[in-house]
Amino acid sequence: MRKILISACLLGKKVRYDGGALSVDDQIVEQWRSEGRIVSVCPEVEAGMSIPRPPAEIFKGSGKGVLNGEVDVIENDGGKVTNEFLAGASIALNLCRKFDIDIAVLAEFSPSCGSTAIYDGSFSGKKVPGMGVTAALLREHGVHVFSQYEIAQANTALLATSS
C-alpha cells in the first residue's frame, strides 16, 4: 500500500508556530487514513523547534534559495533559523525514503511546507510565489508535492502509482 506524506498540522496536530492546528475536512484524507497510507511530519518540530515558536519567514527568496545557501529563514525578532529548517526538510526527506513515498500534501504558505506560495519575509502578510524549504527539498528529490487545496490531484497521482 503506497503511503503519502502529510503536514502534521493539516491532520489537526497542534504543531504550528502559534500552538494551533489546521485541518482538512476531506473524505479523501479519511480514506487515506483508514487505508493506513498516511505518514505525518512537522519538519519544524522534528528539527527541535518549540511549540509555540516565533513566526518565521524566508527572507527575500524561497526554499530553493535556502537549499542553495543564498537566503536565510528568519524569525520575526531577527533570529536566524535556517539550519533548523534545513534539518526539518532532511527529516521529511528521510521519511519519504524510509516509506518509499513520492507524494506529499503539505500546508500552503508555510516557510517549510508551502508549495506554490509563501510569505515574503517582511512579516507584513504579503505572499509571493515560491516554495518552503521542505517542499523544495522533496521536489528536488522527485517527490510530487501538493497543497491542502489539491487533495483530489494528490489522490489521482497516488492512485496512478499505487501498488
Round to whole Å and give the CA distance between 24 and 57.
23
Q: What does the radius of gyration of the chain's CA atoms come to, in whole angstroms?
A: 15
Integer Cα distance of 160 and 25 in angstroms:
23
Q: Which of residues 56-115 bind ligand SF4 (CB under 6 A)?
A: 107, 110, 112-113
Count of residues near ligand SF4 by CB under 6 A = 12
Between 43 and 121, CB nearer to ligand SF4: 43
Considering the complex, state which of residue 23 and residue 161 has its C-beta at the smaller distance from ligand SF4: 23
What dihedral do alpha carbons 16, 125, 65, 41 form, nearest 10°?
20
Contact characters 10-49, ligand SF4, x per CB under 6 A = -----xx-------------------------xxx-----
Shortest spacing between CB 109 and ligand SF4, in angstroms:
8
* Cell, residue 137: 527539498
Distance CA 158, CA 155 (A): 5
Interface residues toward ligand SF4, by CB under 6 A: 7-9, 15-16, 42-44, 107, 110, 112-113
